[in-house]
Amino acid sequence: MIFNLRNIGKYLLHVLLPRTCAHCKEDLHYLDAAPLCPPCRGSLEPITGLCCRKCGIPLGSGGEYCHLCRGQKSGRLTIELVRSAFTFNPELKSLIHAFKYRGRKDLAEPLGLDMALAYDRRPELKDYKFTLAVPLFTGKERERGFNQSELLARVLARERKLFLLEGAVERVRNTPSQTGLSKAGRRENMKEAFRVSKPELVKGRRILIIDDVATTLATADELARALAEAGARDVAVFTLAREP
């Protein structure tokens, strides 16, 4: 171990303010900048295997489509396809919680790099050269200080040379929390939540929406519908986490 001044400084800071794993709360080594301890980090589950061609849900037993998408391939979603980097397991949930609600804006960089690696595993995403983040309602973004999806989109766009369409869409309604709502309720809740403010940026283009977590896809699909109405050629979604 090199005992330089910077490391001594880090050690002293660690004694005063010990950093703990965002999931299990174990003490982290004072030189470790990672938010998770090594065992928790090792518990993250990248989605590498078979997944539904349409909605991207991992398929344990093979086949092309999940039971929801089978037989209604065109009707269920406006979104062309959905892909995600990781399964939304408890360790990732803690990590995303630290990122969004505990001011760990710096986590956008490592999480965005993880997304870039996952992007390489899904060649079907390569045709989408234009990307944008799911916008937050202005008040919410002000409260949090940043839009987590936009930070992720920025890292991915930089790493994989995609065009980031900033300010193309806005959230015009402050939708109540989706938690506790049924699928139909979530869809209703999201209706007309988005407005494409610069249609010239999306017209005729294949667009990749970036979000942190995909759950029922009600939010992303409503955004995809707004983009399609504004003339987008087709819309895919890429998220950090996928909740089954």
What number of chain residues touch Zn ion (CB under 5 A)? Answer: 11
Considering only 28, 47, 51, 52, the residue that binds Zn ion (CB under 5 A) is: 52
Other CB atoms within a 10 A radius of the CB of residue 198 amount to: 14
Which residues make Cβ contacts (< 8 Å) with residue 74, sequence separation at least 6? Answer: none
Q: Which of 28, 37, 134, 236 binds Zn ion (CB under 5 A)?
A: 37
Cβ at position 66, least distance to Zn ion in Å: 3
Beta carbon nearer to Zn ion, 53 or 198? 53
**84 and 241 in contact (C-beta within 8 Å)?**
yes
Distance from C-alpha of 204 to C-alpha of 214, rounded to nearest angstrom: 25
The reply to whether 69 sits near Zn ion by the rule CB under 5 A is yes
146: Cβ contacts below 8 Å, ≥ 6 apart: 105
Selected binder of Zn ion within 28, 35, 40, 81 (CB under 5 A): 40
Q: Which residue stretch of 22-30, 80-88, 106-114, 148-156 sits at the interface with Zn ion (rule: CB under 5 A)? A: 22-30
Least separation, in Å, of the C-beta of 212 and Zn ion? 20
Q: Between the CA of residue 130 and those of 64, 166, 170, 227, 233, what are the distances in Å?
A: 26, 10, 17, 12, 11
Q: How far is the CB of 25 from Zn ion (least distance, A)?
A: 7
Part in contact with Zn ion (CB under 5 A); list of ranges 13-21, 81-89, 128-136, 146-154? 13-21
Rounded distance between C-alpha atoms, residue 57 and residue 82, angstroms: 8
Where does this chain bind Zn ion (CB under 5 A)?
A: 21, 23-24, 26, 37, 40, 52, 54-55, 66, 69
